[in-house]
């Protein structure tokens, strides 16, 4: 006679795609003859389905929000059985289920809001969310995503991220970035929100996006971008909307020093801010950088513009 643990192990292996043909046949037979096993499978499948977009073990160095690290000690009554099932599921899934998915299952079982954190360090990476939206994160960037069947929301963003939003006219996709909110139906756009820069930058490469603060609201379409400052004022950015960091290349065509610095800000997340103490901005440069370190780029820019540009504690200081 099969035990609950045996059934749960078969279910988890089936859901994760690691079951053999014989194990799949065994599970199908068990589900067709055992109503209790079928009900257990339905519950565990619901947990797995809720995290369908997060099933990559390679998913960006993900870590759980603090709220997921605590389970209420007061869970009693009918939730006790659910908790027991989850504990057993965790035991049998420990080797095959990424920890991100276990965290999602935990929140689903205990009825808490579910936030998932995705973060990068020294490399860019991408993740597909539960609604099939793809997010590409620049280096040293982070997003916090709310998993919810009633809304699609990025609760927090730090750094730079490019979004390819899956279209859903009934469920807009929103991004909360500092003092701004970005709302779309289905489109492609980049958001830059680095706290020390005191601004949020939005660049749209496809579709239509609403960009709003407490004071102003604008709608951007393909090849438009805008900046919202700390006071909530939104201004249009007339630069092109090419997302250079996605290709690893910075292409400069007859660019002034100011334009070069803006390109560096959109490419290198390690720059917290700029202190420009120069007045002459008449020199123009045409050049290209490919996957070069910030320090190498700065060294070449110093030669082109005959300036002294120094990176210290995340700030670029420019002097004649």
The domain boundary residue, chosen from 61, 84, 113: 113
Q: What is the token pair recorded at 50?
A: 């809720």
Q: What is the token pair recorded at 281?
A: 């901005």
Distance, CA of 279 to CA of 66 (rounded, Å): 47
Predicted pLDDT of residue 112: 54
Predicted pLDDT of residue 78: 42
Average pLDDT over residues 167-186: 91
Nearest of 198, 200, 194, 166 to residue 181 by alpha carbon: 200
Question: What band does 60 get if pLDDT is binned at 50, 70 and 90?
Answer: very low
The domain boundary residue, chosen from 113, 147, 175: 113
Give how far Cα 249 sits from Cα of 189, 203, 263, 270, 274, Å. 18, 17, 11, 17, 21
User: Do 188 and 209 belong together in one domain?
Assistant: yes
Residue 266 lies in a domain: yes
pTM of the entire predicted model: 0.61
Average pLDDT over residues 53-74: 38
Q: Which residue has the higher pLDDT, 58 or 319?
A: 319
User: Do 74 and 140 belong together in one domain?
Assistant: no
User: Do 65 and 132 belong together in one domain?
Assistant: no
Expressed in percent and rounded to 5, the helix, strand and coil fractions of the chain are 35, 30, 35
CB atoms within 10 A of CB 118: 24
C-alpha neighbours within 13 Å on the C-beta side of residue 98: 19
User: Do 85 and 174 belong together in one domain?
Assistant: no
User: Do 206 and 262 belong together in one domain?
Assistant: no
Give how far Cα 66 sits from Cα of 52, 63, 107, 115, 117, Å. 22, 9, 12, 10, 10
Q: Lowest mean pLDDT of 91-100, 105-114, 250-259, 291-300, name the range.
A: 91-100
Segment 131-167, tens digit of pLDDT: 899 999 999 999 999 877 788 999 999 999 999 999 9
- Residue bearing tokens 């999602």: 104
User: Do 80 and 181 belong together in one domain?
Assistant: no
The CATH number for 265's domain is 3.55.50.30
Q: Lowest mean pLDDT of 73-87, 183-197, 237-251, name the range.
A: 73-87
The CATH number for 212's domain is 2.60.120.1440
The three-state secondary structure class of 318 is strand
Question: What band does 317 get if pLDDT is binned at 50, 70 and 90?
Answer: very high
User: Do 211 and 135 belong together in one domain?
Assistant: yes
Question: What band does 76 get if pLDDT is binned at 50, 70 and 90?
Answer: very low
User: Do 225 and 134 belong together in one domain?
Assistant: yes
**Is residue 4's pLDDT more than 90?**
no
How many structural domains comprise the chain? 3
Residue 173 lies in a domain: yes
- What is the domain extent for residue 20? 4-113
Q: What is the token pair recorded at 131?
A: 């609604």
Contact 111, 104 (CB under 8 A): no
Residue 31 lies in a domain: yes
Residue 243 lies in a domain: no
User: Do 220 and 260 belong together in one domain?
Assistant: no
Residue 242 lies in a domain: no
Predicted pLDDT of residue 238: 84
User: Do 109 and 29 belong together in one domain?
Assistant: yes
Predicted pLDDT of residue 98: 43
Q: What is the token pair recorded at 68?
A: 């997921």
The domain boundary residue, chosen from 194, 210, 237: 237
Q: Which residue has the higher pLDDT, 249 or 74?
A: 249
Percent of the chain at pLDDT exceeding 70? 76
Instruction: Characterize the bridge pairing of strands 224-229 and 199-206.
Output: antiparallel
User: Do 199 and 219 belong together in one domain?
Assistant: yes
Question: What band does 189 get if pLDDT is binned at 50, 70 and 90?
Answer: very high
User: Do 30 and 108 belong together in one domain?
Assistant: yes
Close Cβ partners of 292 (under 8 Å, ≥ 6 residues apart):
none
Predicted pLDDT of residue 222: 93
Average pLDDT over residues 47-59: 48
């Amino acid at each position: 006679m099969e035990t609950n643990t045996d059934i749960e192990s078969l279910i988890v292996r089936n859901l994760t795609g690691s079951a053999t043909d014989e194990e799949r046949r065994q599970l199908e037979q068990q589900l067709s003859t055992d109503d209790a096993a079928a009900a257990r499978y339905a519950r565990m499948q619901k947990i797995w389905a809720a995290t369908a977009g997060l099933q990559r073990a390679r998913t960006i160095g993900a870590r759980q929000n603090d709220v997921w690290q605590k389970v209420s000690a007061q869970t009693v009554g009918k939730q006790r059985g659910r908790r027991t099932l989850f504990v057993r599921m965790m035991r049998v899934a420990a080797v095959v289920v990424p920890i991100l998915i276990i965290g999602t299952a935990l929140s689903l079982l205990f009825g808490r809001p579910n936030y998932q954190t995705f973060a990068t360090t020294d490399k860019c990476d991408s993740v597909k969310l539960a609604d099939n939206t793809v997010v590409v994160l620049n280096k040293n960037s982070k997003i916090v995503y709310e998993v919810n069947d009633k809304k699609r929301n990025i609760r927090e963003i730090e750094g730079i991220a490019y979004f390819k939003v899956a279209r859903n006219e009934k469920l807009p996709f929103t991004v909360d970035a500092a003092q701004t909110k970005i709302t779309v139906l289905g489109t492609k756009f980049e958001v830059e929100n680095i706290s020390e820069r005191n601004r949020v930058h939005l660049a749209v490469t496809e579709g239509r996006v609403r960009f709003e603060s407490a004071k102003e609201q604008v709608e951007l379409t393909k090849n438009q971008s805008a900046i919202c400052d700390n006071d909530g004022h939104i201004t249009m950015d007339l630069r092109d909307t090419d997302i250079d960091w996605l290709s690893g290349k910075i292409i400069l065509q007859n660019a002034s020093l100011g334009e070069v610095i803006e390109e560096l800000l959109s490419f290198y997340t390690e720059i917290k801010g700029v202190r420009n103490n120069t007045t002459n901005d008449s020199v123009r440069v045409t050049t290209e950088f490919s996957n070069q370190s910030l320090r190498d780029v700065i060294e070449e820019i110093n030669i082109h513009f005959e300036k002294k540009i120094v990176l210290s504690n995340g700030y670029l200081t420019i002097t004649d």
